[in-house]
Structure 1
Amino acid sequence: MNADGLIDTLAASPLFAVALTLLAFIVANVLFVRLKRPAWLPAVLIAALLLAGMLALLGLPYARYREGAMWLTLLLGPATVALGMPLYQQLPHIRALWRELAVCLPIAASLAACYALGLAWLMGAPTDILASLAAKSVTAPIAIGVTETIGGSVALMLGALLVTGVATAAFTGPAARLLKIEDERIIGFTLGLNGHAIGTVRAFELSPTAGAFASLGMSLTGIFTALMLPLAWQLVGAGT
């Protein structure tokens, strides 16, 4: 059996795609630690690059990989439900700051979607591209469902999701120093609201308080976007 035949045989089993994904994840975490955890190069980005390289090296089409990796995608459902845990854990913060959150969250979450859509629209992007960018600041389990609902490309959305999370993790710290913001609650909430899971991981590296508020921002942004974005998309007629 030649190399191509061996790859085809292995790719026929979903375990091959799962194994490639786990291998990329493990190696990425090792490299991330050895590189001293740079904010601009999170482990998830390293893993994505490693996985893309392995697929190219093996000559395995992305469609076949994704078909095998569907077993991992199924776990996104429980992950969505699990977002209720950080919300429950942050109930004291929600009660104490509910007025501030009620004002800040809708504005910030809406802007997170609108600035990307506005830039893409000004550059002449078609409707399907706009639909793929709309949920790029929301955690993946929710963003996938929202993107499918409004007719976007999940693959393109995941790419935008990765870029958004990495940019948020890299630039929030310098922006906070420039604006002289030292409150870890604000920094953490910003990381979670704009950078979803990647930003939340970065926030926990800063402090437990920042991580707690990042979890709160990520969860509330996901819920707000899941409820409001499909409705807004239909109201403005972008989905037609």
Structure 2
Amino acid sequence: MMDNIWWSLPLTLVVFYAARALSQRLKMPLLNPLLVSMAIIIPFLLFTGIPYQRYFQGSKILNDFLQPAVVALAFPLYEQIHQIRARWKSIITVCFIGSLTAMISGGAIALWMGATPEIVASILPKSVTTPIAMATAESIGGIPTISAVCVIFVGIFGAIFGHSIFNLMRINTKSARGLAMGSASHALGTARSVELDYQEGAFSSLALVICGIITSLLAPLLFPLLLHLFA
């Protein structure tokens, strides 16, 4: 069985949908479907000695659907276009501040803890979706694979704790919650927002796109400035 890769895709789908059903039934933020799936599949691969590259090859079709899935987030935007047109200045401002905060905080903390410039460049674009983060990190001398890990960690953290933090801070406005989630936790946070509220998901997907653009444009300028100020 382990010499073939036909089982990779069914295994991934079964584990994910089982984790999703468990999450919906128990309503516990820590039971995020992606986190639970990782907690099951990673030990399975380690225990069986199956190389990740071989596992990935068998389920590559899921990765190929990533970009169409991101594009599909444009549909909620279209349905909220009237609100976006009326508040576009505030939206751009929030996304700009959110992008700067995410990059400066991550980069400054990494430098303060003694990270090398290469690691800092990998951490800098942590709050945007994976393809943009990897490309941005590579353009400024970072390691794309480390960026991908940081993106996943930040996304899971936001998806699990984001709405609890909103409730604790009494942030109830759907647009504010959506913009904050999309700015900080990219696609994973957006997916969580879509599950809870359609309008919140629309603003989160909007922030996801805008912050991706802002980060890719500002990271090459901000990175050397951070090195100069904090290194």
TM-score after normalising by structure 1: 0.80
User: Which residue matches 1:3?
Assistant: none
Deviation at 1:204, TM superposition (A): 2.8
Query: Does 2:123 correspond to 1:133?
Result: yes
Extract structure 1 runs of 4+ deviating beyond 6 A: 234-238
- Whole-angstrom CA distance in 1 between matches of 2:61 and 2:198: 32
Deviation at 1:25, TM superposition (A): 1.6
Equivalent runs, 1:51-200 vs 2, <5 Å: 51-200=41-190
**Residue type of the partner of 1:117?**
G
How many residues in Structure 1 have an aligned counterpart in Structure 2? 228
Deviation at 1:86, TM superposition (A): 4.1
Question: Residue 29 and residue 174 in structure 1: after superposition, are their counterparts in 2 closer, same or farther (change >3 A)?
Answer: closer
- Whole-angstrom CA distance in 2 between matches of 1:80 and 1:176: 24
In structure 1, the residue corresponding to 2:142 is in which secondary structure?
Answer: coil
- Whole-angstrom CA distance in 2 between matches of 1:84 and 1:205: 16
User: Which residue matches 2:23?
Assistant: 32
Question: Residue 158 and residue 209 in structure 1: after superposition, are their counterparts in 2 closer, same or farther (change >3 A)?
Answer: same
Deviation at 1:95, TM superposition (A): 0.9
Deviation at 1:233, TM superposition (A): 4.0
**Residue type of the partner of 1:142?**
I
**Selected match of 2:203 from 213, 218, 234:** 213
2:76–2:198 Cα contact (<8 Å) kept = no
**Cα deviation code 1:96-133 (max 9, x no counterpart):** 11121232211111111221111111111123322222
Gapped regions of structure 2 (runs ≥ 5): none
User: Which residue matches 1:19?
Assistant: 10
2:107–2:226 Cα contact (<8 Å) kept = no
Give identity over the alignment, percent: 35
Deviation at 1:164, TM superposition (A): 1.1
Question: Residue 77 and residue 182 in structure 1: after superposition, are their counterparts in 2 closer, same or farther (change >3 A)?
Answer: closer
CA RMSD, aligned part only?
2.7
- Whole-angstrom CA distance in 2 between matches of 1:148 and 1:16: 33
